Amino acid sequence: MQSKILVSACLMGHAVRYDGRAKPLLHPAIERWRAEGRLVTICPEMSAGMPVPRPPAEIADAAAGEEVLAGTARVVELTGGDVTGEFLHAAENAVALARQTGCRYALLIDGSPSCGSGFIYDGTFSGRRRPGSGVTAAALKAAGIEVFSDREIERLIERIAS
Ligand code: SF4
């Protein structure tokens, strides 16, 4: 059976981002995988009941998703709300869906406090990046799913072909 790929809903053109927009990834491989029935789409944050639009959120204190999973860091909104519980729920939903559907890979948009896998923001809402994973990406990696950012789609294509 062909291996499936969990994919961020906003990359698939769904307007689910905090700002009510999508960020579609236009690549021929996406169309091919879609036609092959390989793609499993999820917006982890929406699956946890978060609304669209919603306040921007970052992992506080320059921490990363692994620390949120370990209970040593929080996710906060620009407006001051603590959304750590929602982000943990979102990550659980993504891992559960990946397991149910047999996804070995994930293709997630970079920079998000949920889906980021190469970089995230440092918690100051000033646009400063730091290397690291969001909460969902960290949970998927811990569950043995190979995670690729949208900037790494060529690497995913090679990985699937190998
Ligand atoms: Fe996109 Fe992931 Fe954010 Fe949902 S949680 S809007 S899929 S980056």
- pLDDT for 61-106, tens place per residue? 999 999 999 999 999 999 999 999 999 999 999 999 999 999 999 9
Residue 8, pLDDT score: 98
Residue whose CA is closest, atom 3 of ligand 1? 17
Residue 2, pLDDT score: 77
Is the separation of the CB atoms in 67 and 37 below 8 Å?
A: no
Asked if residue 4 has its Cβ within 6 Å of ligand 1, the reply is no
User: pLDDT tens, 4-44?
Assistant: 999 999 999 999 999 999 999 999 999 999 999 999 999 99
Nearest to 142 by CA among 106, 111, 110, 109: 106
Residue 36, pLDDT score: 94
Residue 17, pLDDT score: 98
138: which residues sit within 8 A by CB, 6+ positions away?
A: 64, 65, 66, 68, 69, 91
Q: Is the pLDDT of residue 1 over 70?
A: no
Calpha distance 4→34 (Å, rounded):
10
Asked if residue 109 has its Cβ within 6 Å of ligand 1, the reply is yes
> Mean pLDDT across the stretch 126-143?
98
Asked if residue 43 has its Cβ within 6 Å of ligand 1, the reply is yes
What Cα–Cα distance (Å) separates residue 107 from each residue in 30, 49, 82?
10, 22, 27
How far is the centre of ligand 1, averaged over its atoms, from the C-alpha of 151 (Å)? 15
Q: Residue 114 CB: number of other CB atoms within 10 A?
A: 29
Asked if residue 115 has its Cβ within 6 Å of ligand 1, the reply is yes
The pTM assigned to this predicted structure is 0.97
